[in-house]
Amino acid sequence: MGGGLTLTTTITHLGFYSIGDFTRISKPQNPVYPKRFRVQSTSSIPDLSIITEMKVFIFLTEKIGDGLPLTGGAWDFRKATISLAPHPLASPKKVTLVRHGLSSWNLESRVQGSSDDSVLTDTGVKQAERCREALSNMHFDRCFSSPISRARSTAEILWRGREDPVIYLDSLKEAHLFFLEGMKNGQFLSQKNFMRGGISEGSQLHLEAEDAKERFPKEYNTWREDPVNFNVNGVYPIRRLWGSAADAWSQILSTTGESFLVVTHKSILRALVCTALGLGPERYALMAVCLRNISNFRYWKFRAIDVNNGGISVFNVNKKGEAMLQSLNMTAHMYGDLTYVF
């Protein structure tokens, strides 16, 4: 195929977080994007004949506009990670990321986005207290947080008793999801014994909010199954998160200190993790096409990385501003009394 890119991949592992080893990449000289990919997939697993020798063709999405930066290999497979900092750092830094506790709209299975109307529940407060205890042996120089209510309340609990104020960054806000915010996720949420360890949120909830799937079936389906391409009037919330994440990393790493606590939301946390590792949102979309006939294929896209309420992730950043993931979505503190040392 003239001007195209051919990838041959051998599937070696099935799971929610890793699949496939690219064994051969052939690339024309001076490629011009966007171009057409040709992906040929062969399986080494006997029972996985459903995708054996499958060939698909997709288009690369246009580069993100408005000058929003991307780190890593979103557009060039030769790259890995690049510096997250605007300049060399005086010393290595450790960044601890925490997702806010259970919110009212988490509990009611509503689309939250950047709405400030979703607040921390009683369980969310208890989760934040458990995070505080789990991190009690750790020293943090500063705390950064999204200014949105559910994250702000979590940060206030985690940072209680400290002299320095929490630093609120707009770059840590959750993705803005326009008209979907506040609407039901197409289901009732029944949760008994929400958490082991004695925390219970009660029984069936009866929601009055309009069902997003019924009201906006096309848009909602795109948001759930192909979030990187969900857009409203040409604005792509998930793609913009990659720019926000890059801005957040730059702001955090430019701050004096060596250990930072960051409190924010699930989608922006995913973007923070991916930008630190040099991954763009389109990689998950590409892999999902290869696995379209696998029942759980949607997990290979943007939602391939999950972060629970109160989940803790840790990055070490060297003087060059290059990040290494130390821990992802630690939740053991939610099920027992323990403290972390890392």
User: Can you spell out the DSSP letters for 222-270?
Assistant: HHHH-GGG--BTTB-HHHHHHHHHHHHHHHHHTSSSSEEEEEE-HHHHH
Kindly report, as residue ranges, where domains of CATH 3.40.50.1240 are found in the chain: 93-334
The first and second tokens of residue 51, run together, are: 């995708």
Catalytic residue among 174, 181, 219, 282: 174
pLDDT band at 213 (very low <50, low <70, confident <90, very high): confident
295 is in an annotated binding site: no
pLDDT, one tens digit per residue, over 76-129 is 333 445 799 999 999 999 999 999 999 998 898 888 988 888 999 999 999 999
Whether pLDDT at 14 is above 50: no
Residues β-bridged to residue 316: 94, 324
Cβ 96 vs Cβ 340: under 8 Å: no
Residue 147's alpha-carbon distances to 46, 144, 152, 219, 265, in angstroms, are 50, 9, 5, 27, 11
The catalytically annotated residue of 13, 62, 100, 176 is: 100
| 309 appears as a binding residue in the annotation | no
d(CA 197, CA 310): 15
Percent above pLDDT 90 for the chain: 43
Q: Is 156 a catalytic residue?
A: no
pLDDT in tens, 147-175: 999 999 999 999 999 999 999 999 999 99
Domain 93-334 CATH superfamily: Phosphoglycerate mutase-like (3.40.50.1240)
Contact yes or no for 263/135 (Cβ under 8 A)? no
Mean pLDDT of all residues in the chain?
Answer: 73
Amino acid 81: pLDDT: 57
Quote the pLDDT of residue 17. 29
Query: Is the model more confident about 228 or about 276?
Result: 276
Residue 100 annotated to the active site: yes
Q: Is 202's pLDDT higher than 80?
A: no
What's the first-to-final CA gap in the chain, in angstroms? Answer: 50
**DSSP string covering 42-62:** EE-STT-GGGTTEEEEEEPPP
- Which stretch of 56-70, 268-282, 312-326 has the lowest confidence by average pLDDT? 56-70
Lowest mean pLDDT: which of 169-173, 197-201, 291-295, 325-329? 197-201
292 is in an annotated binding site: no
Name the percent of the chain lying above pLDDT 70: 63
Determine the Cα–Cα distance for residues 27 and 278; give it in Å rounded to an integer. Answer: 20
* Res. 134: pLDDT tops 80: yes
Mean pLDDT for the stretch of residues 316-336? 95
Yes or no: say if 97 and 146 are a contact pair by the CB < 8 Å rule: no
Mean pLDDT of 118-147: 97
**What pLDDT does 187 receive?**
52
* Structure tokens, 262: 């960051």
Consult the annotation and say whether 300 binds a ligand.
no
- The response to whether 286 counts as a known ligand-binding position is no
Q: How far is CA 319 from the centre of its chain?
A: 25
In this prediction, residues 189-213 reach a mean pLDDT of 46
Whether the CB-CB separation of 147 and 173 falls below 8 Å is answered with: yes
Please give the backbone phi and psi of residue 58, each rounded to the nearest 5 degrees, phi first. Answer: -135, 165
Q: Is 106 assigned a ligand-binding role in the annotation? A: yes
Written as six digits, the tokens of 246 are 């890059």
Task: Name the pLDDT band for 146 (thresholds 50, 70, 90).
Answer: very high
